[in-house]
Amino acid sequence: MTRALVMHFGSAKRAAELKFYLESSENFEALSSVFNISSRFAGLQSLKCAIAGKNLFLRFSCSTGDAMGMNMVLKGVQNVMDFRQMDFPDVDVMGISGNFCSDKKPTPVNRIEGKGKSVVCEAVIKGDVVRKVLKTSVEALVKLNMLKNLTGSAMARALGGFNAHASNIVTAIYIATGQDPAQNVESSHCITMMEAVDDGKDLHVSVTMPSIEVGTVGGGTQLALQSACLNLLEVKGTNREAPESNQLSLMSALTAGQLVKSHMKYNRSNKDVSKVSS
């Protein structure tokens, strides 16, 4: 998870001095131990600085266990700020979220650097299946996808790679499993690619989603219905053996086709999901 604050200095030189300090590999260990002090699940991974005149933007990236982690990262950032305040009393922290994070906005930085989980899925669909089940051809699908990517590119650039189909699915899953639905904005960043393989017979499809923000503890995951849905996917709460693997299971369950199966079973039935025990 990432959080970026913005600081203002009396001169660009002072902003650069803090940038050099923070980016020096010699200082990383000290910074990460200060950052991690407020949670046993927080683990500072990297720190990226960008200067604009007298302003310094700091983008902290951190592992957050099974939580989505925005609050956890914020506490860590605050710890680092309190720590550096001694050497940089002239700094004016203008905002704890300086849009380099970037939260709930479609921005290229999330698409390029990633935020939350970055996922790439691929599949080869046999030509037979394309013809008999999808009732089209590999060539037609490749052409259409190329056209959509080309015509959509101006908008995609403006919005940071937004995919309307992904946003439907992500928002539905987020509401059902207690994630922050407003984060569907960057979580729906999606690049779909199609290519003919095996001498043009079969179709290679890949979906790249660089900034999916999910958690199985904290936030709305505690609500009764959302908790029931996480139980259905068998990923609720903390994974004791390997924190963070619940989030991967949550996404794997969805990519493994269980989304559609669950949809047919529960959405199209009269069963009261709220009665599923938590």
Nearest-CA neighbor of 191 among 204, 206, 211? 206
Enter the DSSP assignment of 67.
B
Cβ 242 vs Cβ 257: under 8 Å:
no
Minimum distance from CB of 64 to ligand ADP (Å)? Answer: 6
Q: Which of the stretches 86-94, 123-131, 167-175, 210-218 binds ligand ADP when contact is defined by CB under 6 A?
A: 210-218
Residues between 28 and 57 that touch ligand ADP (CB under 6 A) = 39, 41
Cβ 77 vs Cβ 85: under 8 Å:
no
* Residue 69 makes contact with ligand ADP by CB under 6 A: yes
CA distances from 210 to 49, 92, 129, 172 (A): 20, 32, 29, 19
Cβ 115 vs Cβ 1: under 8 Å:
yes
* Residue 217 makes contact with ligand ADP by CB under 6 A: yes
From candidates 5, 7, 47, 70, binder to ligand ADP by CB under 6 A: 70
What the block records as the tokens of 145 is 């996808």
* Residue 78 makes contact with ligand ADP by CB under 6 A: no
CA distances from 180 to 25, 107, 184, 261 (A): 34, 18, 8, 24
* Residue 71 makes contact with ligand ADP by CB under 6 A: yes
Q: Which residue type occupies 197?
A: V
Minimum distance from CB of 217 to ligand ADP (Å)? Answer: 5
Q: Which of the stretches 59-67, 125-133, 197-205, 250-258 binds ligand ADP when contact is defined by CB under 6 A?
A: 59-67
**Residue with smaller CB distance to ligand ADP, 108 or 219:** 219
The label of the residue with tokens 């937004």 reads: 162
* Residue 235 makes contact with ligand ADP by CB under 6 A: no
* Residue 103 makes contact with ligand ADP by CB under 6 A: no
Minimum distance from CB of 252 to ligand ADP (Å)? Answer: 18
**Counting beta carbons within 10 angstroms of the beta carbon of residue 128, is it exposed (0 to 12), middle (13 to 18) or buried (19 or more)?**
exposed
* Residue 230 makes contact with ligand ADP by CB under 6 A: no
Minimum distance from CB of 219 to ligand ADP (Å)? Answer: 5
From candidates 46, 85, 151, 238, binder to ligand ADP by CB under 6 A: 238
> Which residues are at the interface with ligand ADP (CB under 6 A)?
39, 41, 64-72, 215, 217-219, 238, 243
